[in-house]
Amino acid sequence: MRPLVAAVLLASLAAAQGLPVRGIHLSAPRADEMDLAVRFIREALPKEGVNTLVLEFGYRYRFTKRPEVAEPDALSLQDVKRLVAACRAANVRLIPLINMLGHQSWAKSTHALLRSHPEFDETPGRYKGNEGIYCRSYCPRHPDVHAVLFDLIDELAEACEADAFHVGMDEVFLLGENECPRCRGRNKADLFAGEVRVLRDHLAKSKRTLWIWGDRFLDGETTGIGKWEASANGTAPALRMVPKDIVVCDWHYEAAHPTAPYFALEGFQVVSSPWRKTSVAIRQLDLVRATRLNASPAVAARMLGMLQTTWYGFGRFAKGYFGEDTSDTKVMEAVNCFRELFRELRRQP
């Protein structure tokens, strides 16, 4: 058989065998939502064909190694084990998420890491009440920050019995700031890539895979995508400075930008991540399928599938899905997008 014909047949076979990742991203439930969360995992996820759940805990876990780094509504180990058991029963892979580097605050609230360790702040003494910024960042070059982060990652990953860990790292706007004596004047791509490598190398010691949002690896000006779903502060070159055994979650919410194949061509495994626009989600899925069908076998195999995002809290999304509270039109947009995307995934897995 000619090599080109063989390659086409292999790519077609890969496409026909379905997508390895058919996932949903949700915030970790509150303690009073645990029964609802377990029901959603056990009933809704198998019904829809979900095989991967990325659960964003942040600092909402009662860490024993670093008990100072926990939000007031943190879940207990017993709570997490209930989620683990539900995922196991539903044959769903559970991947925990803590935002690293950026997203260390939201609005006027600074999250637990910088509340308990203000010395890690990338912009110490600035932005009182978080006015004038999107979200705070920690300093990736602080000599003590990784000892704390590694303890948090390890404890939560062990509690979740996870073989992968999502480190977030999207929308990082404060990096290499003049207020930081360690980072000022340094190349932002070097700083971003250095943090990815540190986190990846730590996870590799326990044979866990790093997952990460992909926006900071894209050039917002060259692509025309802008500063939110891509980078406008010089971090994009970091893509070629990090190991290729990480999984990139390529999120786009307003248009199906053809960036997932770009990541795959660069050697990275990638999943496409829509939110609440069904038409965008279906076009992203079409792009994943077309690439798996037409690309070389190596590139096709890196197009892992889809990861639906939600952003409304576990309880609100689950209640919308079950029809128990359909009053919020934005929540229901995300619910309907989820239903339609996974209906299409089931039609051709």
68-100 burial, b at 16+ Cβ within 10 Å, e below that, comes to ebbbeebbeeebbebbbebbeebebbbbbbbbb
Mention every residue, 6+ apart, whose C-beta is less than 8 A from residue 148: 66, 69, 113, 117, 120
3 CB-contact burial (10 Å; exposed 0-12 / middle 13-18 / buried 19+): exposed
What are the extents of the domains in the chain? 3-347
- Quote the pLDDT of residue 70: 95
Amino acid identity at 284? Q
Amino acid identity at 343? R
Per DSSP, the three-state class of 224 is coil
> What predicted TM-score, i.e. pTM, was given to this entire model?
0.94
Please report the sign of the dihedral spanned by the C-alpha atoms of residue 154, residue 159, residue 164, residue 167. Answer: negative
- Quote the pLDDT of residue 15: 39
- Quote the pLDDT of residue 11: 40
Amino acid identity at 125? G
Strands (E), the chain: 21-27, 52-56, 93-100, 105-106, 109-110, 164-168, 209-213, 247-251, 269-273, 303-308
Q: What is the DSSP string of 248-295?
A: EEEE-SSS--THHHHHHHTT-EEEEE--S-HHHHHHHHHHHHHHHHHS
- Quote the pLDDT of residue 348: 75
Distance CA(249)–CA(301), nearest Å, equals 15
Q: Provide the residue-wise pLDDT of the chain in tens; the chain has 349 residues.
A: 444 434 433 443 333 348 999 999 999 999 999 999 999 999 999 999 999 999 999 999 999 999 999 999 999 999 999 999 999 999 999 999 999 999 999 999 999 999 999 999 999 999 999 999 999 999 999 999 999 999 999 999 999 999 999 999 999 999 999 999 999 999 999 999 999 999 999 999 999 999 999 999 999 999 999 999 999 999 999 999 999 999 999 999 999 999 999 999 999 999 999 999 999 999 999 999 999 999 999 999 999 999 999 999 999 999 999 999 999 999 999 999 999 999 999 987 5
Tell me yes or no: is domain 3-347 CATH 3.40.50.300: no
- Quote the pLDDT of residue 349: 57
Q: Which of 60, 92, 96 is nearest to 76 (CA)?
A: 60
227 CB-contact burial (10 Å; exposed 0-12 / middle 13-18 / buried 19+): middle
Distance CA(262)–CA(264), nearest Å, equals 5
- Quote the pLDDT of residue 18: 81
